[in-house]
Amino acid sequence: MLFDLPAIADLSDSALTQRLQAALDHKTKPLGALGRLEALALRIGQILGSERPRLEAPQMLVCAGDHGLAARGVSAYPSDVTWQMVENFLAGGAAVSVLARQHGLALTVVDCGVARAFAPRAARPGQPQLVLKSVAPGTTDASVGPAMTEAQCAQALANGREVVRSLPGNALLLGEMGIGNTSVASLLLARLCGVPLEQGIGAGTGLDAAGLARKRAVLQQALQANAGATTPLQALAALGGFEVATLTGAVLQAAAERRVIVVDGFITSAAVLVASALAPQVLQRCVFAHRSGEPGHTRMLAHLQAEPLLDLGLRLGEGSGAALAWPLLESACALLRDMASFASAGVAQQGS
**Domain region containing 23:** 14-54+335-345
158/201 same-domain check: yes
86/122 same-domain check: yes
pLDDT of residue 121: 84
Q: Is 4 inside any structural domain?
A: no
Handedness of CA 310, 314, 317, 320 (dihedral sign): negative
46/183 same-domain check: no
110/236 same-domain check: yes
| 298, 185 contact by CB (below 8 A) | no
Q: Which of 66, 71, 72 is nearest to 213 (CA)?
A: 72
pLDDT for residue 352 is more than 60: no
The pLDDT mean for the chain works out to: 96
213/237 same-domain check: yes
Q: Angle of helix 232-239 relative to helix 242-256, nearest 10 degrees? A: 140
Q: Is 5 inside any structural domain?
A: no
Q: Residue 34 region, left (φ>0) first, then alpha (ψ -120 to 50), else beta? A: alpha
32/175 same-domain check: no
95/20 same-domain check: no
Q: Is 352 inside any structural domain?
A: no
111/246 same-domain check: yes
Q: Is 102 inside any structural domain?
A: yes
What burial class does residue 120 get, using C-beta atoms within 10 Å of its C-beta: 0-12 exposed, 13-18 middle, 19+ buried? exposed
Q: Which of 143, 352, 128, 113 is nearest to 245 (CA)?
A: 113
21/104 same-domain check: no
pLDDT for residue 272 is more than 80: yes
Encode pLDDT of 139-169 as tens digits: 999 999 999 999 999 999 999 999 999 999 9
**What CATH code is carried by the domain that includes residue 310?**
3.40.50.10210
Cα–Cα distance list, 134 to 48, 98, 112, 162, 185 (Å): 32, 25, 4, 13, 20
Helical segments of 171-265, H only: 181-193, 209-225, 232-239, 242-256
The reply to whether 198 belongs to the active site is no
Domain tally, the chain = 2
Q: For the whole model, what pTM was predicted?
A: 0.96
Encode pLDDT of 12-62 as tens digits: 999 999 999 999 999 999 999 999 999 999 999 999 999 999 999 999 999
Encode pLDDT of 167-183 as tens digits: 999 999 999 999 999 99
Residue predicted with more confidence, 298 or 1: 298
**What CATH code is carried by the domain that includes residue 50?**
1.10.1610.10
pLDDT of residue 351: 67
pLDDT for residue 350 is more than 80: no
46/127 same-domain check: no
Q: Which of 176, 243, 294, 318 is catalytic?
A: 318
| 171, 250 contact by CB (below 8 A) | no
What is the residue type of 345?
Answer: A
